[in-house]
Structure 1
């Protein structure tokens, strides 16, 4: 069994993952979200029980990396980390020479002496062009890497100055509402699709984690649909890949959830990590593609907000047969307990939709 706690990380990802192996609890953190939510979660643990077996920083966008920079910048008392997966500046090209130009997290990891990408020989966390997908066995979990590939890391290297300049863009001019808010889902399932081509999102570390006793989860980060599809096709050899839960890529952006991607996933539980505050995620086009492609799906949100709450009582759910799980009231965050073929929620959630 794997427990996934989608912490209230504003518009970002901060996933607290626990599972049992050899008589003790193991922990993984996937991204740090914005602000102090990760540090607050760590402080809920006793000082003598603040060991994290694995931390994955999927990519350098602020809504994923900010909390990790805070964590390594001022570690809480008692913190120890088994290993970190993160593609820093040094990993973006195979032929890097000369002085290293690292971002802040890279410097902090070096200073802390934390084991870094050791499962990949200290090199990049990357999918090779040929052969089997990388599979890492770690403390009772098997990780199958789907993305990124070398081309994606090279694109980030070439775009590095522009990416850094865009890490903290102003809110002015950003889309704060979904332009499809008033359009029925039935009319959006076949709406035009435009892929995500941003260099930072394309470099996302995306993987499937499977527990030795059952439970299979896709941690899709902000990966473009096409990058995920490349890995899924190699893994499934043309057949849909069975999952218990999919952490929806890029918080449910319509540019990262395609009809083709949904068709390659045999999955009934879709986890959305976002408050919708900065980009109005999730997009209704992404929701429409999921519920049309996987009828009777369960949509799980870690916030009850203006962009997520409408799905809790949406009359359109009767047509597609989906249901929703949302936090109650002003208590954001949600926890899923995942075993083979079974997904349960813990904590205060409310259920809505046609099949609730």
Structure 2
């Protein structure tokens, strides 16, 4: 997890020490790209660059990227659903409409200008679970496979009116659909002490209905038996629908070695049923908590209450109020978990970086 502020910028690496392969997911806020550029420029074998969806905390870092005179890195393939893919999902057309000024959204134009292969694994050029190619895992060089879990065509289509309205405004996106109008509303959970895990886990669940989050590209990456579920900001119900047959095939729960929790730990993107659908004891959450007070205590509580006996581990790439409350010896003793934060780093630009090794 790289320093994406309240967003995501993820780097997945696999292979042998003599030949490593890489996958980049999202670029966080605008300052993220400046912080991580030198690290990305030096990478070879970038097999896939995924822009999961158009929320500013995932895509704003692409603005300085596409302003570069030349591509700063060379992904072998790019997955990203822009306006043409939304329209193609509506019609299920294999030919994309031409880019006009109104549809010249910056990342899409940058992909074209850089000559990057765009959604080439899909004949329709739509990254969707409804594309025929997504019915089986997709193989990447170095032995990694990807099983797509989200988005669905219907969720891509639902974004069209939102996209069209925003394309009339200046800039890439001037809105953030996750914004809370009232930062002091009940959406935020003030704490005077340690979280009450059992009561929080049983609190009512109100699902995320934001259309951009519904278009999130979420997937399982697997290498030599290790599975990582990168959930972007996907809706819990969409993930559950995709995971349920996989869980049934494995006896009721689907093994995941690491879950990058959806929507930075929002309680609206992980239902009370979701933790019982996967067999997972490692959970990664990317956020500095600056805008939405993520992760929600109810979200962490759902994972703890669903599996209280086994040892678990939570990885937070920022130490902040909403993650600090879980660094409690009393809570760890009762609920059998550990927490990991980044170590102090003299390079302050890279604060928010945490490396997780599934083979150590």
Tell me whether the two structures share a fold, i.e. TM-score over 0.5: yes
Residue of structure 2 in register with 1:189 after alignment = 201
**Which digits, 9 at most, give the CA deviation of each residue in 1:123-143, with x for residues without a partner?**
110012899734210011000
State the TM-score, normalized to the length of structure 2.
0.84
Residue 13 of structure 1, aligned match among 8, 12, 24: 8
TM-superposed CA distance for 1:167, in Å, is 3.0
Conserved? CA contact 1:31–1:58, under 8 Å: yes
Identify the range of structure 1 (133-142 vs 64-73) with the bigger mean alpha-carbon deviation: 64-73
Query: Following the alignment from structure 2 to structure 1, what is the Cα–Cα distance between the partners of residues 70 and 144?
Result: 27
Structure 2 gaps, min length 5? 167-172, 346-350
**Which digits, 9 at most, give the CA deviation of each residue in 1:200-254, with x for residues without a partner?**
000000000001x231100000001101001101322372110100000000000
Conserved? CA contact 2:138–2:147, under 8 Å: yes
Residue of structure 2 in register with 1:35 after alignment = 30
State the TM-score, normalized to the length of structure 1.
0.85
Query: Following the alignment from structure 2 to structure 1, what is the Cα–Cα distance between the partners of residues 46 and 126?
Result: 21
Structure 1 gaps, min length 5? 1-5, 345-356
Conserved? CA contact 1:88–1:102, under 8 Å: no
Query: Following the alignment from structure 2 to structure 1, what is the Cα–Cα distance between the partners of residues 212 and 137?
Result: 24
Please give the residue correspondences for 1:241-280 in structure 2 after superposition, counting only pairs within 5 Å.
241-280=254-293
**Which digits, 9 at most, give the CA deviation of each residue in 1:79-126, with x for residues without a partner?**
222110001110113327865424211111111111011111351100
Residue 316 (structure 2) pairs with residue 301 (structure 1): yes
Residue 115 (structure 2) pairs with residue 113 (structure 1): yes
**Which digits, 9 at most, give the CA deviation of each residue in 1:47-69, with x for residues without a partner?**
5x555221000000011011123
Residue 198 of structure 1, aligned match among 199, 210, 214: 210
Conserved? CA contact 1:175–1:280, under 8 Å: no
TM-superposed CA distance for 1:181, in Å, is 2.9
Query: Following the alignment from structure 1 to structure 2, what is the Cα–Cα distance between the partners of residues 314 and 190?
Result: 23
Query: Following the alignment from structure 1 to structure 2, what is the Cα–Cα distance between the partners of residues 53 and 132?
Result: 18
Residue of structure 2 in register with 1:136 after alignment = 138
* Number of aligned positions between the proteins: 333
Conserved? CA contact 1:35–1:66, under 8 Å: yes
TM-superposed CA distance for 1:76, in Å, is 7.0
Q: 1:74 to 1:233 in 2, by over 3 A?
A: same
Query: Following the alignment from structure 2 to structure 1, what is the Cα–Cα distance between the partners of residues 26 and 184?
Result: 24
Query: Following the alignment from structure 2 to structure 1, what is the Cα–Cα distance between the partners of residues 98 and 227?
Result: 41
Q: 1:87 to 1:237 in 2, by over 3 A?
A: same
Identify the range of structure 1 (167-176 vs 319-328) with the bigger mean alpha-carbon deviation: 167-176
Query: Following the alignment from structure 2 to structure 1, what is the Cα–Cα distance between the partners of residues 287 and 13?
Result: 21
**Which digits, 9 at most, give the CA deviation of each residue in 1:296-346, with x for residues without a partner?**
32111000111111111252333222221112357432100113xxxx5xx
Residue 297 (structure 2) pairs with residue 284 (structure 1): yes
Residue of structure 2 in register with 1:174 after alignment = 183
**Which digits, 9 at most, give the CA deviation of each residue in 1:129-166, with x for residues without a partner?**
89973421001100000111111101111332456553
Q: 1:22 to 1:281 in 2, by over 3 A?
A: closer
TM-superposed CA distance for 1:179, in Å, is 1.8
Decide which structure has greater strand share: 1
